[in-house]
Amino acid sequence: MVRLEVLWSARNAEDMARKRLDLDALYNLPVEAEHWEAAEDAMQRLSEISRPREVTFPDLLIAAVAETNGIAVLHYDKDYDLLRERDIFNIKTEWAAERGTVDVPTPPQTSEPEQRS
């Protein structure tokens, strides 16, 4: 999941290839059924205190894997701090760079399907 999040930020084919090589140096942790269930539980808890879509599902899965494995999440995404601060996941978080200092691509906007009469 982390790999896909990093690769999503690639600006072109060359950048994608470079990021893929860099990512090959990282250790991959598996996403198991228990992590999917923990992500669903987290979404439930978020729905009880705010909005269930406040945090993206990839971030929920990554946080679940991090918690299970006792590892910190190095990130550039406020969602992880929110999950920690609201006691959704017991994870350590660290910003990869000072918040607001990195140009992050925005996700493409999807249009809602047209309603039929």
CATH number, domain 31-96: 3.40.50.1010
78 pLDDT higher than 90? no
Residue 42 contacts residue 66 (beta carbons within 8 Å)? no
Residues of the chain with CATH 3.40.50.1010: 31-96
More confident residue, 9 or 41: 41
* Distance of alpha carbon 13 from alpha carbon 16, whole angstroms: 5
117 pLDDT higher than 50? no
